[in-house]
């Protein structure tokens, strides 16, 4: 559904992996400037906007801010401060079509003689984190002249140089470290404004920006007049309105020097593109907005691990090793834009052109933003690191937290190198000699390991995820590098968490709810058995047959014992003699995460590690008891992500009574990451409709008016747990790729004759299209080299082919009934 | 119009003159905690709310947060953080009836067995600034039992001790200086919780609060459990839900000591009142919320005058010299509440029961808030001082700025001692030997005079206002104290601003638009002639007949000359050879403030100081050209207080062309203070409908959804210029009180047989009621000792009486046709 201008919560982020963002709101406005290696929700730049002037030949010129009108409330302690330009005319209406990574905005206004729409995006190429990490965006306004006469059209972008902003004064104008400067540039086939500052290269706030275009029909005012008052904007606006041509200012200011120390440092510059459009003609006005803030502090400086030993040092962003400055970024964007856009549109098309349920496409695409938000970053050398999420003004909960990132699937299947890098950090650098893993990585900055309880779910989940990464990549060197640490981490479970050696974990178990569970519970144990099963496969691969057998045995006997101990006929409980002996337990409750380990096993291709019927019963019970079509009647004194009148899945419920006096501290909350986890699992167990209902609940809550569709919040914006969403594609399409055996198999759970879905493998990605007559696999990027490809066709049974070798653009047809096709095994 | 829960901009402030505020929002929620001598819009306290539990005998208990439901957007970087308690059930609906100073909220909910409404207010007594300056509020919930069985009802207020808050952590919980502490108290006929802190008495953040009641049916949990997690709120809520009785906690925390230094300092306490209501019964549950933050820094620490020499010292609030602490405030409130409420309701009744147009009552009452907002304060000794307004987190533009406060009428006629005090500051302390007045007072803190251009409008307006204050009070000592400075200030105009000695001011004239006008203009000159006329009257009173004559002559000849020079047949222009020779002029423009000096003269009883016909033409032209029923089409790059689609009066327009390239920096803005000034003037000149149309425009913009009805913003919230509103009552009722001659006269401009209006004099206040048969004057407060009372009756002509002596509660009837009434002079 396109969003109307009053969808004030909506903000579509532009920017690549590890680059920060600027977003576009539902009125088409630029908002939330978060370019400088730090979250900054709500950060505005004064006088920063696009404007359009259209003058039919012989007609009346109309100039408008290229946004739809402000929707209110219209509060502010100085009304709308001058920098907001709320007193300038805007367009009558707009519709936002946000289909991440592509944004389209349609504007309408009866008084404007021409039609105008915006397309905006930052290139996204599956399996290519570097190319998906360009610090910049394309803003392409497309203007159509519906008249029977020519029309002169100018679109001008104005940008306040944001480099060095350290805060805002009482009038909401920025204060700066250093002196920003703007300069006109005409080089490398680009024209535009280079935004710089006199901050030294090594300064944390050092950076550059560019607002540029490959269009040669430019007109510009690279630097507005400065002054004690706002002369600059008056002159700019009058200049634009007058004839659609901008004149560079010949003076710096109308105020005479010398200037006092508090004289404004604000430097605004405007770049315009001007075209005459013939009747009926359409014309693109294309701007490139790029940025380059190379320097980060060499420390998390977060809210949990307070060791910031090297915070005084600077470390560069990965992208800064690829580009010298923002102008170089713009050059790259300009040079490669056709190809970059082709890839981006192919990905967009494979997702939004699929027959996957729209709520799933919506969930997967919108949460993908997390990877390209301030939550994630890459350091020089390529190291991937991430927060759990982003507070409005700072990162939230540092260290690529294992127990939160446990839930994330998107990176593993879309940018797998990032997850491999995280596993490397975990097992090579953060797993101690005794096998205890620091569940928040401090080594990415070269700082000392964090000293805290180990997290049972995070530590064991990472082992399953290591298996997932190895299986998807087939990278044996990677596995060999990580395995020693992984084996120590696995062995650690026996000694640390199994107090009585019965193969069921039962001691003090810190976990993703930020407290410790005690006694046997299926969250920790399902994760344990999944890790053991994954460990067995990896030990086998590493030639340690003895260990493999031991892990397999432990998984089987442990699962059996746990099942007998905790399954209550409907779901798995936590076994405690007195649920109130310690706070923060759940006892007889129905925990939404109760078989999360099983879900991770499914995703990693490990199949059932617990009795299938009991697992199915458990996830069905989670849906039955914990999903509320209307949360009215649910009392919670905890954080609130879903309100009475909304639908959501609570983390725990007590359908059989036994709620502790003080249950675990998030028990009554609703987290989208767990909703996706459970939804995925429901689908894996065949409860497709139930799974989709959960997904719809999440997305209905994020409708642009209530919440931002592109930001699922938990402890922070763009929360990593929401990346569980990609699992929905895995479960629905039933895709299973094993790089080692070079097999790719699909057994769709979405019973749909006409299914079309995106898929990825470690080396290539594309679409699988099921038609009544058979199946087609089209490779849209990378390459594919398979021993075997199989598709379970709902009508024709298993279609198979192999070996299959495809390059990007290639396709293979699996036809059921055509005997002339040698690959037809139906 | 009552406001619905989605009127999110609405916030009704509680608190007295110089005490700061806490506000109530449109859902009935407590918001904007601004008690600690500093604005703090948006400041929330976690876990701070009222709740109701109702249990019909034999029926089901229902417990609800005593607010209507959250209306969204539901964003926040951690959802709603735990302190918001968004996951607890709230009431289905509410309506806010805000009639300042009285608030009533009606709540509705089908599931709650009883009906509940809130009345909230801080006592307001006309002519009594001290009694109107109590740092506290009454929150009275009235519950009605519509059932045929008894109902047990508890209402509990919970308050987080806010003393010493220095900021908020990433989880939105406050950080504290010092350690807050809560204690139960049962003394002086009051029961409740005393909130204190271990901050030393002299600390700027030192303070106390009380949540108390005179009700004996209390139940309380003076301090919730503390802890690493939110055990306290879970236990509180369960305790309340269980039986409506709160148990004091026996433990401090469920977490074992020792506690780390970062252990929570948050101390929440709850006071409940519990009653059994018989069928059909109504019962008040009355809470007193009081506070006491005695200490301010002895300096403005503002954004303009940076001399804060004594900022390290502490000065006490005036209220702190009356009350030892918040408990003493509660005692006073409890003791005197019947009388305080009677006065408050009498004032409310006189205003809201009047037949003044509702938009006028709305404007006057809502802007009255300014005087009881963070914009104003009183220092020990009673000194009145004020900002221009309040930024969200700090005062805006310090020094009781003469050119802004020039517009304010409310204090002069409702709390005249405050304005007298401001005049004393201006003329005794801030007028230099040469007559130049510092238009921002720094002397209130004993700091050095501010060195800047003198402000022509502010300085001369203060002279008119001195006359107004003297005339209203009859306080000759006060006049004698101020006159020497006033005379110097008046003489200064001749030497400073009249470059050619022709009696028309024409040199560099700094003014309320924060720039300088040059050349003859009617804003400065109308103010000059008003000041001369006022000066003549005061010189006369002081026995300086020669000066009196000189001022009278100068006023007359100057007015004549200016009229000839500037009147263009329709309105007064600014005379400049080249309007663009200097920036920030208006030239041939139609300035809304062009005859503001004349308006001040009207208010002060000085009648026309410029040719009446030209004045009438000028204000009509202002209405014609500057009022826009819809601002669509108005382009402004300045601050924005009224948007396309809304109505408003712009500060200037150029109906005859000649707009400067860069006009004065606020020329395209819309200020409510000037809208009221012009509206008042239109009514004074007989253009009643036009005046009321302006007032409606202002109030329509402040509808609770777009903007807060109780906060008219300019450069800051609760902006002083909006206090121009009281002028509307003066103009409509045509009241004229002269304390020296002891005459009170009414010549209503609102042609309405049934007029009823509030009036004030220096010694008493009440209602004037015009009936078809005559008039009645009722004194509701103070006393009245008149030589003559006259009322221009629309049907019977002038009714008169005298001498008249009335005490509060007294009334006098002026009957037209009854010869038996000796006071009938019709």
A636 CB near a chain B CB, below 8 Å? yes
Q: Which residues of chain A neighbour B234 with C-beta distances below 8 Å?
A: 637, 661-662
B662 CB near a chain A CB, below 8 Å? yes
B42 CB near a chain A CB, below 8 Å? no
- Answer yes or no: is A388 within a domain: no
Q: Which residues of chain B neighbour A90 with C-beta distances below 8 Å?
A: 644
- Answer yes or no: is A820 within a domain: no
Which tens digits make up the pLDDT trace of B716-774? Answer: 999 999 999 999 999 999 999 999 999 999 999 987 668 899 999 999 999 999 998 89
CA gap A127, A412 in Å, rounded: 10
For residue B511, the distance in angstroms to the closest alpha carbon of chain A comes to: 15
B661 CB near a chain A CB, below 8 Å? yes
CA gap A324, A315 in Å, rounded: 15
In DSSP terms, A153 is beta-bridged to A54, A275
Contact B637/A231, CB-based, under 8 Å?
Answer: no
> Among A624, A723, A736, A761, which residue's Cα sits nearest to residue A684?
A736
Contact B391/A72, CB-based, under 8 Å?
Answer: no
Probe site for chain A from B38, B76, B170 (most A CB atoms < 10 A): B170
CA gap B66, B50 in Å, rounded: 5
Q: What pLDDT shows up at residue B601?
A: 98
Residue B389 burial (C-beta neighbours within 10 Å; 0-12, 13-18, 19+): buried
> Which CATH number do you get for residue B412?
1.50.10.10
Which residues, at least 6 apart from A342, have a Cβ–Cβ distance to it below 8 Å?
Answer: none
- Answer yes or no: is B475 within a domain: yes
Q: Which residues of B156-181 are buried (b: 16+ CB within 10 A; e: fewer)?
A: bbbbbbbbbbeeeebbbbbebbbebb
Contact B640/A86, CB-based, under 8 Å?
Answer: yes
pLDDT band, residue B819 (cuts 50/70/90): very low
A233 CB near a chain B CB, below 8 Å? yes
Last residue of a domain, one of B680, B715, B732: B732
Three-state SS letters, A47-62: CCEEEEEEEECCCCCE
B337 CB near a chain A CB, below 8 Å? no
Category of A292 on φ-ψ map: left (φ > 0), alpha (ψ -120 to 50) or beta: beta
- Answer yes or no: is B774 within a domain: yes
B172 CB near a chain A CB, below 8 Å? no
Which tens digits make up the pLDDT trace of B502-552? Answer: 999 999 999 999 999 999 999 999 999 999 999 999 999 999 999 999 999
Q: Same domain, yes or no, for B682 and B743?
A: no
Contact A665/B229, CB-based, under 8 Å?
Answer: yes
pLDDT band, residue A256 (cuts 50/70/90): very high
- Answer yes or no: is B307 within a domain: no
Q: Same domain, yes or no, for B39 and B84?
A: yes
Q: Which residues of chain A neighbour B390 with C-beta distances below 8 Å?
A: 77
- Alpha helices of A640-793 — where are they, by DSSP H? 672-684, 688-701, 726-733
Q: Which residues of chain A neighbour B645 with C-beta distances below 8 Å?
A: 69
Return the structure tokens found at A785.
């080299």
B822 CB near a chain A CB, below 8 Å? no
For residue B515, the distance in angstroms to the closest alpha carbon of chain A comes to: 10
A92 CB near a chain B CB, below 8 Å? no
CA within 13 Å, CB half, B38: 18
Q: Same domain, yes or no, for A460 and A577?
A: yes
- Answer yes or no: is B345 within a domain: no
Three-state SS letters, B580-608: CCCCCCCCCCEECCCCHHHHHHHHCCCCC
Which residues, at least 6 apart from A108, have a Cβ–Cβ distance to it below 8 Å?
Answer: A91, A92, A93, A94, A115
Q: What pLDDT shows up at residue A753?
A: 66
Q: Same domain, yes or no, for B719 and B787?
A: no
pLDDT of B498 higher than 50: yes
Q: What pLDDT shows up at residue B423?
A: 98
**Closest chain A CA to residue B236:** A637
Contact B714/A78, CB-based, under 8 Å?
Answer: yes
Give the B window 286-305 contacts with A, CB below 8 Å. Answer: 303
Q: Same domain, yes or no, for B407 and B449?
A: yes
Which residues, at least 6 apart from A486, have a Cβ–Cβ distance to it below 8 Å?
Answer: A427, A431, A462, A463, A466, A535, A538
Q: Same domain, yes or no, for B712 and B785?
A: no
- Answer yes or no: is B172 within a domain: yes
pLDDT band, residue B479 (cuts 50/70/90): very high
DSSP A513-547: TSSEE-S--HHHHHHHHHHHHHHHHHHHHTT-HHH
pLDDT band, residue B329 (cuts 50/70/90): very high
Return the structure tokens found at B744.
């009170």
B391 CB near a chain A CB, below 8 Å? yes
pLDDT of B818 higher than 70: no
Return the structure tokens found at B703.
């509808």
CA gap A307, A322 in Å, rounded: 30
Probe site for chain B from A5, A74, A515, A719 (most B CB atoms < 10 A): A74
Q: Same domain, yes or no, for A481 and A591?
A: yes
**Closest chain B CA to residue A8:** B73
CA gap B625, B655 in Å, rounded: 7
Which tens digits make up the pLDDT trace of B784-801? Answer: 999 999 999 988 999 999
Ordered strands of the A788-793 beta sheet: A735-738, A743-746, A788-793, A797-801
Which tens digits make up the pLDDT trace of A450-473? Answer: 999 999 999 999 999 999 999 999
For residue A727, the distance in angstroms to the closest alpha carbon of chain B comes to: 24
Which tens digits make up the pLDDT trace of B121-178? Answer: 999 999 999 999 999 999 999 999 999 999 999 999 999 999 999 999 999 999 999 9
Give the B window 338-357 contacts with A, CB below 8 Å. Answer: none
Q: Which residues of chain B neighbour A303 with C-beta distances below 8 Å?
A: 169-170
Return the structure tokens found at A187.
């080089």
Q: Same domain, yes or no, for A617 and A520?
A: yes
Domain count, chain A: 3
> Would the CA dihedral through B676, B679, B684, B685 be positive or negative?
positive
Q: Which residues of chain B neighbour A640 with C-beta distances below 8 Å?
A: 74, 79-80, 84-87
Mean pLDDT for the stretch of residues A175-194? 97
**Closest chain A CA to residue B255:** A583
For residue B254, the distance in angstroms to the closest alpha carbon of chain A comes to: 9
CA gap A155, A587 in Å, rounded: 63
Q: Same domain, yes or no, for A257 and A324?
A: yes
- Answer yes or no: is B388 within a domain: no
Which tens digits make up the pLDDT trace of A294-327? Answer: 999 999 999 998 889 999 999 999 999 999 999 9
For residue B706, the distance in angstroms to the closest alpha carbon of chain A comes to: 4
Which residues, at least 6 apart from B425, have a Cβ–Cβ distance to it below 8 Å?
Answer: B383, B384, B385, B400, B441, B443, B444
Q: Same domain, yes or no, for B473 and B612?
A: yes
pLDDT of A783 higher than 70: yes
Which tens digits make up the pLDDT trace of A712-753? Answer: 999 999 999 999 999 999 999 999 999 999 999 999 998 766
A70 CB near a chain B CB, below 8 Å? yes
Probe site for chain B from A49, A63, A78, A239 (most B CB atoms < 10 A): A78
The beta strand positions in A146-249, using DSSP E, are 151-160, 165-168, 174-176, 180-187, 190-197, 208-213, 218-221
Q: What pLDDT shows up at residue A685?
A: 98
Q: Which residues of chain A neighbour B662 with C-beta distances below 8 Å?
A: 231, 234-235, 254
pLDDT of A329 higher than 50: yes
Express as a percent the part of chain A with pLDDT over 70.
99
Contact A85/B394, CB-based, under 8 Å?
Answer: no
Answer whether B235's CB lies under 8 Å from B229's CB.
no
Whose structure tokens read 């050879």?
A: B577
Return the structure tokens found at B337.
């509440």
Q: Which residues of B782-820 are buried (b: 16+ CB within 10 A; e: fewer)?
A: bebebeebbbbbeebeebbbbebebebebebbbbbeeee
Return the structure tokens found at A393.
């003004």
For residue A519, the distance in angstroms to the closest alpha carbon of chain B comes to: 20
CA gap B30, B32 in Å, rounded: 7
Q: Which residues of chain A neighbour B584 with C-beta distances below 8 Å?
A: 229
Mean pLDDT for the stretch of residues A573-601? 98
Q: What pLDDT shows up at residue B305?
A: 85
> Which CATH number do you get for residue B163?
2.70.98
Q: What pLDDT shows up at residue A307?
A: 87
For residue A238, the distance in angstroms to the closest alpha carbon of chain B comes to: 9
> Would the CA dihedral through B584, B587, B589, B592 be positive or negative?
positive
For residue B220, the distance in angstroms to the closest alpha carbon of chain A comes to: 19
Mean pLDDT across chain A, nearest whole number?
Answer: 96
Contact A79/B640, CB-based, under 8 Å?
Answer: yes
A281 CB near a chain B CB, below 8 Å? no
Q: Same domain, yes or no, for B277 and B357?
A: no
Last residue of a domain, one of A698, A714, A732: A732
A168 CB near a chain B CB, below 8 Å? no
Three-state SS letters, B760-800: ECCCEEEEEEEECCEEEEEEEEEEEEECEEEEEECCCEEEE
Q: What pLDDT shows up at residue B365?
A: 98
Return the structure tokens found at B581.
């020779």
Q: What pLDDT shows up at residue B753?
A: 66
> Among B221, B157, B219, which residue's Cα sits nearest to residue B183?
B221
Q: Same domain, yes or no, for A739 and A691?
A: no
Q: Which residues of B448-464 are buried (b: 16+ CB within 10 A; e: fewer)?
A: ebbeeebbbbbbbbbbb
Question: What residue numbers bound the domain in which B165 lies?
Answer: 11-301+318-338
> Among B568, B563, B585, B543, which residue's Cα sits nearest to residue B625?
B568
Which tens digits make up the pLDDT trace of A478-490? Answer: 999 999 999 999 9
Q: What pLDDT shows up at residue B822?
A: 43
Q: What pLDDT shows up at residue B817?
A: 61
Report the residue from B9, B73, B645 with minimal CB separation from A8. Answer: B73
**Closest chain B CA to residue A714:** B78
3-state secondary structure of B210: strand
Q: How many CB pairs under 8 A join A and B?
A: 196
């Amino acid at each position: 559904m396109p969003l109307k201008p009053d969808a004030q919560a909506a903000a579509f982020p532009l920017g690549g992996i590890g680059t920060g963002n600027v977003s576009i709101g539902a009125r088409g406005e630029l908002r939330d400037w978060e370019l400088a290696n730090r979250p900054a929700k709500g950060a505005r730049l004064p006088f920063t906007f696009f404007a359009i002037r259209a003058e039919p030949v012989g007609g009346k010129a109309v100039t408008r801010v290229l946004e739809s009108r402000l929707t209110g409330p219209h509060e502010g302690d100085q009304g709308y401060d001058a920098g907001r330009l709320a007193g300038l005319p805007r367009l009558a209406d707009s519709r936002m079509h946000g289909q991440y990574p592509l944004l389209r905005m349609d504007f309408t206004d009866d008084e404007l003689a021409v039609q105008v729409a915006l397309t905006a995006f930052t290139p996204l190429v599956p399996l290519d984190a570097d190319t998906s990490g360009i610090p910049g965006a394309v803003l392409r306004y497309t203007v159509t002249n519906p008249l029977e006469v020519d029309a002169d059209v100018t679109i001008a972008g104005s940008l306040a140089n944001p480099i060095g902003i350290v805060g805002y004064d009482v009038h909401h104008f920025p204060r700066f470290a250093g002196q920003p400067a703007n300069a006109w540039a005409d080089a490398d086939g680009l024209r535009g404004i280079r935004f710089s500052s006199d901050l030294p290269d090594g300064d944390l706030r050092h950076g550059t920006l560019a607002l540029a275009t490959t269009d040669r029909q430019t007109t510009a005012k690279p630097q507005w007049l400065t002054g004690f008052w706002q002369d600059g904007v008056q002159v700019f606006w009058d200049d634009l309105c007058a004839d659609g041509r901008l004149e560079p200012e010949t003076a710096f200011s109308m105020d005479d020097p010398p200037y006092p120390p508090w004289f404004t440092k604000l430097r605004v510059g405007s770049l315009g593109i001007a075209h005459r459009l013939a009747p009926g003609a359409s014309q693109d006005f294309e701007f490139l907005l790029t940025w380059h803030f190379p320097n980060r502090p060499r420390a998390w400086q977060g809210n949990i691990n307070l060791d910031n030993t090297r915070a005084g040092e600077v470390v560069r962003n990965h992208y800064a090793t690829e580009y010298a400055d923002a102008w170089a970024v713009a050059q790259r964007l300009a040079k490669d834009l056709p190809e970059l856009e082709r890839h981006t549109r192919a990905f967009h098309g494979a997702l939004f052109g699929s027959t996957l349920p729209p709520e799933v496409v919506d969930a997967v695409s919108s949460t993908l933003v997390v990877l390209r938000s301030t939550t994630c970053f890459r350091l020089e050398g390529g190291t991937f690191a991430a927060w759990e999420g982003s507070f409005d003004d700072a990162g939230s909960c540092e260290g690529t937290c294992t127990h939160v990132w446990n839930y994330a699937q998107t990176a593993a299947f879309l940018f797998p190198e990032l997850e491999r890098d995280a596993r490397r950090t975990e097992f090579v650098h953060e797993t101690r000699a005794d096998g205890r893993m620091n569940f928040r990585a401090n080594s990415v900055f070269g700082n000392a390991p964090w000293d805290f309880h180990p997290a049972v779910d995070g530590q064991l989940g990472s082992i399953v995820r290591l298996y997932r990464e190895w299986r998807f990549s087939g990278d044996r060197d990677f596995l060999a590098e990580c395995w020693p640490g992984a084996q120590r981490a696995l062995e650690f479970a026996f000694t640390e968490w199994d107090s009585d050696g019965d193969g069921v974990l039962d001691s003090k178990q810190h976990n993703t709810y930020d407290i410790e569970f005690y006694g046997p519970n299926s969250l920790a144990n399902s994760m344990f058995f999944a890790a053991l099963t994954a460990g067995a496969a990896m030990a086998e691969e590493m030639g340690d047959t003895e260990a493999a057998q031991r892990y397999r045995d432990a998984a089987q006997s442990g699962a059996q014992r746990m099942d007998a101990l905790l399954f209550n006929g409907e779901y798995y409980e936590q076994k405690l003699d007195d649920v109130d002996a310690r706070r923060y337990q759940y006892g007889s409750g129905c925990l939404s995460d109760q078989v999360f380990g099983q879900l991770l096993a499914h995703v990693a291709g490990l199949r059932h590690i617990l009795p299938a019927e009991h697992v199915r019963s458990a996830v069905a019970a989670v849906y039955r008891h914990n999903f509320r079509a209307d949360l009215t009647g649910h009392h919670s004194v905890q954080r609130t992500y879903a309100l009475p009148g909304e639908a959501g899945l609570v983390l725990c419920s007590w359908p059989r009574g036994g709620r502790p006096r003080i249950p675990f501290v998030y028990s009554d909350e609703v987290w989208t990451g767990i909703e996706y986890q459970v939804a995925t699992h429901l689908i894996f167990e065949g409860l497709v409709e139930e799974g989709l209902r959960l997904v719809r609940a999440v997305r209905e809550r994020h409708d642009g008016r209530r919440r931002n569709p592109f930001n699922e919040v938990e402890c922070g914006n763009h929360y990593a747990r929401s990346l569980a969403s990609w699992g929905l594609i895995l479960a629905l399409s039933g895709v299973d790729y094993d790089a080692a055996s070079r097999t790719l198999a699909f057994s769709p759970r979405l019973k749909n004759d006409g299914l079309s879905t995106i898929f990825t493998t470690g080396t290539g990605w594309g679409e699988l299209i099921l038609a009544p007559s058979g199946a087609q696999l089209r490779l849209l990027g990378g390459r594919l080299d398979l021993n075997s490809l199989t598709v379970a066709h709902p009508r024709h049974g298993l279609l198979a082919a192999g070996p299959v070798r495809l390059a990007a653009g290639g396709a293979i047809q699996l036809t059921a009934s055509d005997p002339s096709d040698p690959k037809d095994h139906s």
